[in-house]
Amino acid sequence: MNLTVTILALLTGLLAGALFSYLHIPIPAPAELPGVMGIVGIYVGYKIVQRLDIGIDLLGSLGIQ
């Protein structure tokens, strides 16, 4: 994982969050812990399947790609 990209992503998120707050508009993300944990779960599940190197190429199977 590239630390520079991670830090830039964090700074971009902080800037976007500050802008949303400044403009008094809701953020486009879950504002409560269960929603955030759902997103974390999706990410962890994705990484587990990648690590186990399992799965199918759905788009390829459908002839889309």
Q: For tokens 């269960």, what's the residue?
A: 34
Confidence (pTM) = 0.59
Give residue 25's identity as a one-letter amino acid code: I
**In this predicted model, which residue has the larger pLDDT, 28 or 64?**
64
Q: For the chain, what is the largest distance between any 2 Cα atoms, rounded to a whole number of angstroms?
A: 46
- For 1-37, write each residue's pLDDT tens digit: 688 988 999 899 899 989 999 999 988 777 788 888 8
Structure tokens at 18: 């500050």
Ordered by start, the domain boundaries in the chain are 1-29, 32-65
Q: For tokens 């590239």, what's the residue?
A: 2
